[in-house]
Structure 1
Amino acid sequence: MNIGGGAKVSNMRALVVDDNMVNQTIHHRLLQNLGIENQVVKNGKEAVDVHSSGKYFDLILMDMDMPIMNGIEATRTLRAMGIRSTIAGVSTRSLDQEKQEFMEAGLDDYQEKPLTKAKLVSILHKINHSG
């Protein structure tokens, strides 16, 4: 997997978990532009349901504030299910206490919105070096 220059990342699947349509579109396009197949769901419960149905993702971009099941709860649930995917929290929250709680839920990385190509590539490098 090479993420340098204009290289595409092949055979990688990502899940975008965000209730905001604009963020869904931005994250979907950023991933698509890097050649990463991705699916979008609008809350943590849908993310858990998708995994329960047997799908696997290399990367999960998880929003913190969502209806039904928030990102912290969803991350804890996915980890409890044995999901080992890289989960990156993506949120507008900047309070250290909130970030800390999100990280402790089982995140591998945390990025503040808006997510940019540079931030996404930074997350992808972590996947590349850990796997």
Structure 2
Amino acid sequence: SDKESTIFTDKNKLNKVLSNLLENALKFTNEGKVELGYQLKDKEIEIFVKDSGIGIKPEKQKMIFERFSQAEKELSKKVGGLGLGLSIAKENAELLDGKISVISDLGKGAAFFVTLPYKPANLVSEIGKEKEKIAENKGKYTILVAEDEDINFMVLEILLVDKIKLPCNIIHAKDGMEAVELCKNNGDIEFVLMDIKMPKMDGHEATRLIKQIRPNLPIIAQTAYSSPEEKEKAFLAGCNDFISKPISKESVIAVLNHYLLAGKDTEIH
């Protein structure tokens, strides 16, 4: 029934799981169909995404969820790039205390299964407890992430919230102009992770404009290019510090401790 199919979970994380699985299925299915559905199994709900696409070799099936794995790269080449979709789906499924698996025959499509704890939404007392827990962890710090690539933003979001476990609200700006407007109109923002290469307005120009409005707001440049020249450009624009892509947990912790948490009797490790 509809009541049975309404569950209590983290909507954003579940959306990331399903959107990445569906995107993957559509990308590898030139003809036929893609099917999304679910079934209840005792205390679990099993959600499936099935396609009639190219399929996956048996020896590659355990590897495709690993970030930057050879299997993922080989699969990507066939359709012009898969990115981090399956690894992000796996990470978010595990953050929901679930698991993800695949069954596939080469040339006959694939079926991905996401198994999650079944928490019916009509169990009001359970929802109340979960909401209390969420309220306790409500973001103390407001962080702006300026990043035009959705996958890169998701990786940073997972890093900050789930890996580092920083109590924070994260705001996403998709270009430099949006970042400037958000910093201008939202006084709660107290820390910025600024991608340098963005459309409409790059990170250098956005930083210059933000610093004119809010000179004390810490802005950390993030870029794939870590040459001395690039670092100098970032500092001249007004960035307080610089972290290189691919971004590591350690580099983010270091800048958070130095620029956001210093003097607040809080430190993360």
Q: TM-score, normalised by structure 1?
A: 0.85
1:32-72, Cα deviation, whole Å (9 max, x unpaired)? 22222111111110001112223431210000101101000
Q: How much does 1:116 deviate? A: 2.0
Partner in structure 2 of residue 97 of structure 1: 229
What's the % identity of the aligned pairs? 27
Aligned pairs, number: 124
5+ long unaligned stretches in structure 2: 1-136, 265-269
- Written as runs of structure 1 = structure 2, the 5 A alignment for 1:1-131 is 11-33=140-162, 34=165, 35-127=167-259, 128-129=261-262
Name the aligned partner's letter for residue 32 of structure 1: V
Name the aligned partner's letter for residue 14 of structure 1: I
Q: How many Å separate the matches in 1 of 2:186 and 2:251? A: 28
Contact preservation (8 Å) 1:31, 1:37: no
Q: How many Å separate the matches in 2 of 1:51 and 1:83? A: 11
SS at structure 2 position matched to 1:72 = helix
1:57 and 1:113, CA in 2 relative to 1: closer, same or farther beyond 3 A? same
1:130 and 1:106, CA in 2 relative to 1: closer, same or farther beyond 3 A? farther
SS at structure 2 position matched to 1:85 = coil
Name the aligned partner's letter for residue 38 of structure 1: I
Q: How much does 1:12 deviate? A: 1.0
Q: How many Å separate the matches in 2 of 1:61 and 1:31? A: 11
73-82 vs 30-39, which moves further: 30-39
Q: How many Å separate the matches in 2 of 1:64 and 1:107? A: 10
Q: How many Å separate the matches in 2 of 1:112 and 1:14? A: 18
Runs of 4+ in 1 over 3 A off after TM superposition: none
Q: How much does 1:14 deviate? A: 0.4
Q: How much does 1:130 deviate? A: 6.2
Q: How much does 1:120 deviate? A: 1.0
Q: How much does 1:129 deviate? A: 2.6
1:50-99, Cα deviation, whole Å (9 max, x unpaired)? 12223431210000101101000000000011242211111001221122
